[in-house]
Amino acid sequence: MKRIYLDHNATTPLREEVAEAMSKILFSEFGNPTSTHEEGARARTHVETSRERVAQCLGAKSAEIIFTAGASESNNTVLATLLDPELPRRGLITSTVEHPSILEPARQLEKAGVPVTWIPVDRDGRVSPERVFEAADRGPALVSLIWANNETGVLQPIQEIAAGLEHRGIPLHVDATQTVGKCPVDLQSTPIAYLSCSAHKLNGPKGTGCLVARGHSPVHPLLLGGPQERRRRGGTENVAGIVGFGLACQLAHVELSERIKAYSELRDHLWQSLSERIGGLRRNGTSEHVLPNTLNLQFAGAAGEVMVQALDLEGIAVSMGAACHSGSVSPSHVLTEMGLSSEEARSSLRLSVGQGLTLDDISRAAESIARVARRAQEASAA
Amino acid sequence: MSPDQEKNTGSDRILVAMSGGVDSSVAAALLVEQGREVVGVTLNLAGDTSRCCSLEDADDARKVAETLGIRFFVANYADRFREEVIEEFADSYLRGETPIPCVACNKRFKFDYLMDRASVFGAETVATGHYARVSKSSETGLFELRRPRDTNKDQTYFLFQLDQAQLAGTSFPLGDMSKEEVRLRAADLGLATAHKPESQEICFVPDGDYARVVEKIRPEATRLTGDLVDSSGQTLGQHKGVHRFTIGQRHGLGISSNRRLYVKEIRAKTQEVIVGDAKDLDETLAHVNQVNWISGSLPSAPVRARVQVRYRHAGVPATITPLPDQRAQLVFDEPVRAIAPGQAAVFYGLDDDMEQGERVLGGGWLSSQASS
């Protein structure tokens, strides 16, 4: 039976056009973009064309795009700039519901003596712009926020925060890994200093992504050892990956409005089918400011871990939250920070739709999820 | 999906508890050979830190699952394991007992919790690599738990708490095999775990230093002190807490004497450890509590059985008299040495056919003399 993949926030299937473009590069364009001979020049052209595509998708300038191995590297790179002793201001403001690739470096910064202000979220999963501004008035070096949460899909009020911080002259870094390809992102109209994203979340390849550093925002390379990316990221470019990323961005840019429509339709159908079948089903986080493709649901009394495994056996891929958390024993920090109990967090699942799914798939998945939820609720009640 | 299809996917599916050891690996392999849809599950009981039931063992189990081509999952129960097994183990030592955590671990984690998981998976049965046999009596219609063919590997002692519902949903594929056959089979199948050494008796005390584990869980135990006293009441020395002793212990008493002295009794309330000669350790009477009868019904009259008071114990014929509140009195036909509260007394059918394996009639927890 055809498997139904409802975990598009973990990663997405590669688009066929993207795979084709990448395999052409892998088979015929082996040059090193830094080399001056023809092989190198051709590879360089591919990298630069892709850079333009990514820039266009994000509303940035080509020179502002730094290719990395993905958003985790981009996030780490941005936070590492705060260790510079010559920075005019000190300190980081971030939220308690960030991805681990912000949380962990932020804790490292704290250990290194950089003050970090942690902004909490409300029951809806959102930070209050006022609290951010209050902290920003103490003059930190950077504010870093996740735009769309990977577990709940909740969108932070980035437009409002970006405007308020611009007014205060405090740079903002946005982790837009889940946002690009699912929501409009336009750096021309949003004053953001740094933005991170990953190709594999928008039907591109794994192992590539970018950091956008706007204007004269400083970047201290994490990887030293070469002139690549204007000395902001050493190491020979992942040419095929970059080409795949560029094309995935271009497709996402062109198809954005139809994707948003399609994802919303799939998600709404899923929510409706499930809430009809399962009593007391609750949605975690706001349903107003949220990605069009994500549902984070609480199945009261059921063990989420067991449901994920049982659904897998039924041919349906879902997760408890971040893929990195599967196999770990602690409940999702994103959900507990929103005020859920450990028990509630452990009974929650993340369902995220994406390309390649039909409404029929969703109907079939909803039946299986309802059946497994009932069995899981009975098992824990026994 | 039609109801028929659902039934088909569910009825053939079986969950196998895979520890990452050779026994459960072969148990899974045998079920695959029988054509069952096997789902391997490894318990992660230690979290990310400790060695036992660890992610390393899970990796071994995962490799075996890949070789067998079966689905595989990790079941995370570290929090519950700490609360229900490790903390209970420490508290039992501090009560002056000699706990045997494997019984509760088996019952709760391998049976209760995995059976719940199996039911969500649409599987009716949980199989394990235990050396034991389960069968349904055609006479009584009841499920029976019996010793395995390889009596050297007999693990029925750890399973005395199982009830009829659990036995109905349990399969022990190794019950009729010897350990040697299991190893050969694993090697034949090219399983990664074929030559893995036997696991420790208590998985979370890999170096055998019980006292250190108790003190880590209950740090207040490091401040305990008490007297070593002989049967006449004379103080022979001091000790650093009753959790460092077990009934029958001879070494590490920290006293010099021209007699061979053994721990005879542990009084946790007064932190007194009573020592005596070997003959003082002999008992013909004991009491057990939380008695489980495998048949599910309390015998109306005293029962004759072979009673085993620790894992490696040949067992002694005894008369078991059921008492109120799930308790029972045991009167042994001959003296039994070093009966330790906290250990299990497991009852085996005296007149059972050894070839089919003696039946486990039930068992209970040995209680201290003070409360008996």
| ipTM for the assembly | 0.87
Task: Give residue limits of the domains in chain A.
Answer: 4-12+256-381, 16-252
Out of B100-104, B125-129, B213-217, B317-321, which region has the weakest mean confidence (pLDDT)? B100-104
8 Å CB contact of B76 and A327: yes
Higher pLDDT, A327 or A280: A280
Best A305, A316, A329 member to test B by mutation, with max B CBs in 10 Å, is A329
The shortest C-alpha distance from A378 to chain B (Å) reads: 9
The residues that bridge with A282 in the sheet, in sequence order, are: A298
Q: What architecture does CATH give domain A4-12+256-381?
A: Alpha-Beta Complex (3.90)
Distance CA A277, CA B175 (A): 43
Domains of chain B: 12-129+173-188 (3.40.50.620), 224-276 (2.30.30), 280-366 (2.40.30.10)
pTM of the model: 0.91
Render pLDDT for A66-108 as a digit per residue (tens, 0 to 9).
999 999 999 999 999 999 888 888 999 999 999 999 999 999 9
Q: Residue B200's pLDDT is what?
A: 62
Q: Residue B356's pLDDT is what?
A: 77
Closest residue of chain B to A366, computed from CA coordinates = B1
- CB pairs < 8 Å spanning A and B: 52
Q: Residue B372's pLDDT is what?
A: 38
Q: Residue B56's pLDDT is what?
A: 72
Distance CA B93, CA B101 (A): 11
List strands edge to edge, sheet with B226-230.
Answer: B235-239, B226-230, B272-276, B262-267
Using a CB–CB cutoff of 8 Å, tell me whether A376 touches chain B: yes
List strands edge to edge, sheet with A116-119.
Answer: A65-68, A209-213, A194-198, A172-175, A142-146, A92-95, A116-119
**Using 50, 70 and 90 to split pLDDT, how confident is the model at B1?**
very low
Sign of the C-alpha dihedral computed for residues A83, A87, A92 and A98 taken in this order: negative
Using a CB–CB cutoff of 8 Å, tell me whether B78 touches chain A: yes
Q: Which of B110, B109, B81, B105 is nearest to B170 (CA)?
A: B110
Query: Radius of gyration of chain B from Cα atoms?
Result: 22
Using a CB–CB cutoff of 8 Å, tell me whether A85 touches chain B: no
Q: Which of A176, A213, A183 is nearest to A198 (CA)?
A: A176
Residues 46-75 of B with CB under 8 A from A: 47-48, 55, 71, 73-75
CA B36, distance to chain mean position in Å, is 28
* B122: chain A residues, CB-CB within 8 Å: 310, 313, 375
Q: What is the mean pLDDT of chain A?
A: 95
The residues that bridge with B330 in the sheet, in sequence order, are: B286, B320
How many Cβ atoms from other residues are within 10 Å of residue A245's Cβ?
32
| Share of residues in chain A with pLDDT > 70 (%) | 98
Closest residue of chain B to A382, computed from CA coordinates = B116
Determine contact, residues A244/A204, Cβ cutoff 8 Å.
Answer: yes
**E-strand spans in A167-265?**
172-175, 194-198, 209-213
8 Å CB contact of A310 and B120: yes
Using a CB–CB cutoff of 8 Å, tell me whether B314 touches chain A: no
Q: Which of B284, B292, B287 is nearest to B363 (CA)?
A: B292
Best B120, B121, B126, B163 member to test A by mutation, with max A CBs in 10 Å, is B120
Q: Identify the helix (H) or strand (E) that includes residue A349.
A: strand A348-352
For residue A245, what are its two tokens?
């990323």
**Using 50, 70 and 90 to split pLDDT, how confident is the model at B4?**
very low
Distance CA B211, CA B275 (A): 19
Answer yes or no: same fold for A4-12+256-381 and A16-252: no
8 Å CB contact of A327 and B74: yes
Using a CB–CB cutoff of 8 Å, tell me whether A360 touches chain B: no
For residue A280, what are its two tokens?
């007391």
Annotate chain B with three-state secondary structure: CCHHHHHHHHHCEEEEECCCCHHHHHHHHHHHHCCCEEEEEEEECCCCCCCCCCHHHHHHHHHHHHHHCCEEEEEECHHHHHHHHHHHHHHHHHCCCCCCHHHHHHHHHHHHHHHHHHHHHCCCEEECCCCCEEEECCCCCCEEEECCCCHHHCCHHHHCCCCHHHHHCEECCCCCCCHHHHHHHHHHCCCCCCCCCCCCCCCCCCCCCHHHHHHHHCHHHHHCCEEEEECCCCEEEEECCHHHCCCCCCCCCCCCCCCCCEEEEEECCCCEEEEECHHHHEEEEEEEEEEEECCCCCCCCCEEEEEECCCCCCCEEEEEEEECCCEEEEEEEEEEECCCECEEEEEEECCCCCCCCCEEEEEEEECCCCCC
* B75: chain A residues, CB-CB within 8 Å: 305-306
Using a CB–CB cutoff of 8 Å, tell me whether A381 touches chain B: no
8 Å CB contact of B122 and A378: no
Q: Residue B11's pLDDT is what?
A: 58
8 Å CB contact of A309 and B121: yes
Q: Residue B196's pLDDT is what?
A: 81
Q: Residue A242's pLDDT is what?
A: 98
* Surface-to-core class of residue B7, CB atoms within 10 Å of its CB (0-12 exposed, 13-18 middle, 19+ buried): exposed
Render pLDDT for A104-141 as a digit per residue (tens, 0 to 9).
999 999 999 999 999 999 999 999 999 999 999 999 99
8 Å CB contact of A329 and B74: no
Using a CB–CB cutoff of 8 Å, tell me whether B311 touches chain A: no
Q: CA distances (Å), B78 to each of A225, A307, A329, B39, B113, in order? A: 43, 18, 7, 21, 13
For residue B290, what are its two tokens?
């939380």
- Residue B102 designated active-site: no
CATH of domain A16-252: 3.40.640.10
**Using 50, 70 and 90 to split pLDDT, how confident is the model at A325?**
very low
* A376: chain B residues, CB-CB within 8 Å: 120
8 Å CB contact of A329 and B79: yes
The shortest C-alpha distance from A300 to chain B (Å) reads: 15
Using a CB–CB cutoff of 8 Å, tell me whether A327 touches chain B: yes
Render pLDDT for A344-375 as a digit per residue (tens, 0 to 9).
999 999 999 999 999 999 999 999 999 999 99
Using a CB–CB cutoff of 8 Å, tell me whether B178 touches chain A: no
- Residue A57 designated active-site: no
Q: Residue B3's pLDDT is what?
A: 39
**Using 50, 70 and 90 to split pLDDT, how confident is the model at A324?**
very low
Q: Residue B355's pLDDT is what?
A: 75
* B120: chain A residues, CB-CB within 8 Å: 303, 306-307, 309-310, 372, 375-376, 379
pLDDT, mean of residues A142-148:
98
For residue B370, what are its two tokens?
């003070």
CA B153, distance to chain mean position in Å, is 13
The shortest C-alpha distance from B111 to chain A (Å) reads: 13
Determine contact, residues A116/A95, Cβ cutoff 8 Å.
Answer: no
On the CB side of A334, CA atoms within 13 Å amount to 25
